[in-house]
Structure 1
Amino acid sequence: MYDIIYIGGGLNYAGAIVASKQGLKVALVETSLGHLGGTCLHEGCIPSKMFLHHANTVRQSNESVFRGELVLDMPTLTAQKTELLASASKSIMAQCKDVELIEGKGKLIAPHKVEVEGKIYEGEYIVIGTGSIPFIPEGIVYDKKAIITSNELLDLQKLPQTIAIYGDGAIGLEMASFFVSAGVEVTLISRHDRLLPHTHSSIQNAMTKELERQGIIYLKEHAISKAEPTEKGVHITFENGASSMYEQMLVATGRQPNTDVVATDQITVKRGIETDDFFQTTLEKHFAIGDCNGKLQLAHAARVQALNVTKQIMGKQPGKLNLDHVVRFIHTLPMSYATVGQNRQRLEEDGMEFKESSIMLSQFKPAAFHQAGNGVLIVYADTSGLILGAELFAPNAEELISSVAMALAGEMTVSMARQTIMAHPTFSEALERVYSRL
């Protein structure tokens, strides 16, 4: 009998380490121990940002102040990526020295009982963190070579000359940035009529202008009915009857919660594993964190949920997490989109009175050499001046928004934020200007 059994070795490992250090008897079940750290470490956040970092250098080298041509060496890049991930995996394994690591596919077959490769393990508490898997729409023949997902993308040894990317969410937009920066002809295909439909209209327009400026072909309202690999490349047929051929295709139509771990009807599964606000499932002492609960598909959200649940189990009463305070971002080049807290759409849907302030980065000289002329910063506050949230489209927006996230956590007002003197010349200075206008 274990105190806690964690199923899934993604960000769940953070909770397992904390619990083991407190003397609890802890087991961590993972299908492949070489995959500790989960999708974020091996096929997501870390390697994708590494790829974008190096592609950005190629993109910048095309500016008029440079001479010559840079080419991304994919075999070297993927080799360095593999070396980096091996080092990270080794570090996680070392931190799990007091955790019993169990390799194999875990299934919750009954309350407190986890089956792994035919063996039954029992735990007083169960924490499920099995993540998510790529969603492949019907009609797409996913062969992992010509038609790939983000899983295979990060092992490419050769860049295609042309690629179709189906899906305009975070993965689709980020990888469109990677490929076009690396010199690939990119076609971004979307079922929707506009980019980022839940964001402020000025950010939708700015992102669309950026795609056009970089030469990305954007096909909106082009649902795919069929896509299959052929000897000449990938043949795509659209629902409107048109068709096109591309050398390769990336399917980036989202990810779906991995819920097949649940083999008992005492836990409700809908879109994801259903939980309450404290991540407890419909079965007492059984929790689900991260992508598999369908709340928020972000690694940092999964980590904080795992730690919150572990503290609950240890009786430390961490309180309810406010998932609205989790930063969400899309790392595109040369500017990224980031948001935290409320945005205009949600505030209007809730019927809440609010004020907003925005500024275009084109008003700031550094925008010229950062290629940030289409950038925009927007901050929202209530009628009493309490900061409610922000949406940023700027270079390194995921870093810039951290000060807004701290303002939300500290329940700061606009008048308090105005007292902050930002550095010059930086884009945080533009954020200071936004506050002054609220």
Structure 2
Amino acid sequence: MSAKHFDVVVIGSGPGGEGAAMKLVKSGKRVAVIEAHDMVGGGCTHWGTIPSKALRHNIQLLRDYRRNPLFQHTHDQVQVEYSDLLKAAGKVINQQVRSRLRHYARNRIDVIHGRAGFIDTHRIEIVQPSGVSEEITAEHFVIATGSRPYQPADIDFNHPRILDSDSVLRLDTTPDSITIYGAGVIGCEYASIFCNLDVKVNLVNTRDRLLSFLDDEITDALSYHLRNQGTVIRHDEVYEQVEAVDDGVVLHCKSGKKFKTDYLLWANGRSGNTENMGLDEIGVAVNHRGQIEIDKTYATSLPHIYAVGDVVGPPALASASYDQGRFVGAQIATGSADWQLIDDFPTGIYTLPEISSIGRTERELTASKVPYEVGQASFRTIARAQITDHEVGMLKLLFHRETLEILGIHCFGEQASEIVHIGQAIMAQQGEANSLLYFAETTFNYPTMAEAYRVAALNGLNRIF
């Protein structure tokens, strides 16, 4: 029996794979999507973006409730456990899965569940969970297999008290204490979640400050508020040993410090999902972190095989991965893409309060000797923030002193990841259309958080005129 043949096979159904598959099928290609797990959506839906952000949202609701004087008399009647939050996140995950399944069915995309491995450069074998295997062939392939938490060989991740960002979603109890090793995006987000459940949190950072790719003023604010919520932050620490005992886990650091807590959450690095795919055998280059090496068109060392999303490394964002998939789909379908992926994409970090930014930081502009100025709006002066009782935060606009071009937008506070998109739209304009004057001269709905742009713009203009 001959193998089924497709124009394109997409391996992985996360944002990158979905973006590629939808673009290709809309272009008239016959497409199959291979998914190793029993439900579509990839790590983004099941272990990453969706569950962690759903957890964060419900923690925010709980925090708002506790702070609201209208409900002060009922505070003691509400007890929320970590497992309750996971159940709420599960509802969102199921909704996302059903929605994506409808998209695939409506567009007549074959979804095949099983693990894919290359037999040769145009043929793959898919081993289904039952053990049954089948072979399919294709003219082009898109690898979008995502990533998984990096697990050092000297740490026993089979121990029930040692967690990573996947297994923490199976935790069935609310710990009294937890040590989070790694203070990147994932580590900071989970620190926010646990400390607002009244869990004692140690956040152990291998660097000298949190999230050093962000604006310094923003990371200083994040550090302050995490500490204010009860998180103990330890900078410049490197682990030497992880010791699991009956009643907890001890993290031994090279500095001599020891942290003993109920659980350890390892949140330090990720590896590409490329093992046992036969990539080395067919000549697709993979680096030491399991990430596929690509050129500027996202083609691998074999020109008919592309790779997108977390499996190729940074920026490892669901939003960017989806765009990469669509970009590759256009190239396969037409030989070229009729648009370019943007250089500046927004970063959203769902701590409490959340963070979002786009463009350059003050540190980068100073190093480049760009004559810039700053316009700021404190949320405590914004009527909408006062109404919603989310007065912690600020919007910061960096702009060129002479041309008034917007160079960077940095936001800290509730709805930061939504607020940043207003500025992103103006930053994307060419020439004089990208100007601080737009915000100073535009009428915003009142009261809204968007009004912060007008306040920040006027604040900035006052600094130079």
Please give the TM-score of this superposition, normalised by the length of structure 2: 0.86
Quick check: 1:102 aligned with 2:112?
yes
CA contact (8 A) 2:395 2:411 kept: yes
Specify the SS of the correspondent of 1:199: coil
From the superposition, tell whether residues 348 and 141 of structure 1 become closer, same or farther in structure 2 (CA, over 3 Å). farther
| Partner residue of 2:226 out of 193, 199, 211 | 211
Tell me which residue corresponds to 1:322: 342
* Aligned with 1:248 (options 263, 275, 285): 263
Q: Deviations over 1:159-183 (max 9, x none)?
A: 1011111111111111111111122
2 CA distance for matches of 1:110 and 1:342? 44
Q: 1:405 aligns with which of 424, 432, 437?
A: 424
For 1:369 and 1:228, the matched residues in 2 are separated by 48
| Aligned match for 1:153, one of 135, 157, 168 | 168
User: Which residues in structure 2 correspond to 1:56-95 (within 5 Å)?
Assistant: 56-63=60-67, 65=69, 66-67=72-73, 68-69=75-76, 70-95=78-103
Partner of residue 19 from structure 1, selected from 21, 24, 30 = 24
Summarize the alignment of residues 221-260 of structure 1 with structure 2, pairs less than 5 Å apart. 221-260=236-275
Give runs of aligned pairs for residues 308-319 of structure 1, distance below 5 A. 308-315=327-334, 317-319=337-339
Are 2:159 and 1:162 aligned? no
Whether the aligned pair in 1 keeps the contact of 2:54 and 2:88 (CA below 8 Å) is: no
AA paired with 1:107? G
> C-alpha separation between the residues in 2 aligned to 1:64 and 1:75?
24
Change (3 A) 1:23 1:365: closer
**Residue of structure 1 equivalent to 2:286:** 269
SS of 1:401 mapped into structure 2: helix
Equivalent residue runs for 1:364-379 within 5 Å:
364=382, 375-379=393-397
SS in 2 for 1:179: helix
- Range that drifts further, 154-163 or 133-142: 133-142
Alignment deviations for residues 56-102 of structure 1 (CA, whole Å, 9 cap, x no partner): 22222332722323321444443343343233223322221212222
The amino acid across from 2:285 in the alignment is: T
Residue 47 (structure 1) shift: 1.4
How far the C-alpha of 1:381 sits from its partner, in A, is: 2.6
Q: CA distance change for structure 1 residues 346 and 126 in 2, over 3 Å: closer, same or farther? A: farther
| Residue 25 to residue 364, structure 1, CA distance change in 2 (3 Å) | closer
- In structure 2, what is the Cα distance between the partners aligned to 1:239 and 1:254? 19
* 1:380-416 C-alpha deviation (Å, 9 max, x unpaired): 2334222222111121100110101211233322222
- In structure 2, what is the Cα distance between the partners aligned to 1:388 and 1:112? 45
CA RMSD of aligned residues (A): 2.4
1:4 — aligned with what? 8
Query: Which shows bigger deviation, 183-192 or 411-420?
Result: 411-420
1:82 counterpart letter in structure 2: G
1:229 CA displacement: 2.2
1:371–1:185 Cα change, 3 Å:
farther
How many aligned residue pairs are there?
Answer: 435
- Looking at structure 2, the residues matched to 307 and 55 of structure 1 have their Cα atoms a distance apart, in angstroms, of 34
Partner of 2:449: 427
Contact 1:141 1:228 in 2 (8 A): no
> 8 Å contact 2:382–2:451 — kept in the other structure?
no
Of 49, 53, 65, which aligns to 2:57?
A: 53
Deviation at 1:21, TM superposition (A): 4.1
Structure-1 separation of matches of 2:237 and 2:249: 16
> Within 2, Cα distance between the matches of 1:362 and 1:86?
37
Aligned mate of 1:361, from 371, 379, 386 = 379
Q: Which runs of 5+ in 2 are unaligned?
A: 128-132
SS in 2 for 1:226: strand
Q: Which residue of 4, 9, 29 maps to 2:34? A: 29
Q: 1:286 aligns with which of 305, 311, 314?
A: 305
Counterpart CA distance in 1 for 2:386 and 2:232 is 24
SS of aligned partner of 2:441 = coil
Q: CA deviation at 1:151?
A: 1.1
C-alpha displacement of 1:265 = 5.5
Provide the C-alpha distance between the structure 1 equivalents of 2:256 and 2:409, rounded to a whole number of angstroms: 41
Contact 1:108/1:263 (8 A) holds in 2? no
Identify if the C-alpha distance between structure 1 residues 236 and 295 changes in structure 2 by more than 3 Å, giving closer, same or farther.
closer
| Aligned amino acid, residue 406 of structure 2 | I
Q: How far, CA to CA, are the matches of 2:374 and 2:333 in structure 1?
A: 42
Deviation string, structure 1 residues 237-276 (Cα, Å, up to 9, x no partner): 1111222310111111132222334234533323532222
CA displacement at 1:210 relative to structure 2: 0.5
SS in 2 for 1:62: helix
Q: Counterparts of 1:347 and 1:144 in 2: how far apart (Å)?
A: 46
Aligned residue for 1:339, secondary structure, equals strand
- Return closer, same or farther for 1:84/1:203 CA change in 2, 3 Å cut-off: closer
Measure how far apart 1:115 and its partner are: 2.9
Q: Distance in 2 between matches of 1:393 and 1:4?
A: 42
CA contact (8 A) 1:144 1:152 kept: no
State the secondary structure of the residue aligned to 1:16. helix
Counterpart of 2:130 in structure 1 is none
Equivalent residues of 1:367, 1:373 under 8 A apart? yes
Q: Distance in 1 between matches of 2:152 and 2:454?
A: 44
Residue segments in structure 1 that go unaligned for 5+ positions in a row:
none
SS of the equivalent of 1:273 reads: coil
Instruction: Give the conservation status (yes or no) of the 8 Å contact 1:278–1:321.
Output: no
- 1:336-347 aligned at under 5 Å gives the runs 336-347=354-365
Change (3 A) 1:17 1:322: closer
Deviation for aligned residue 1:373 = 5.7
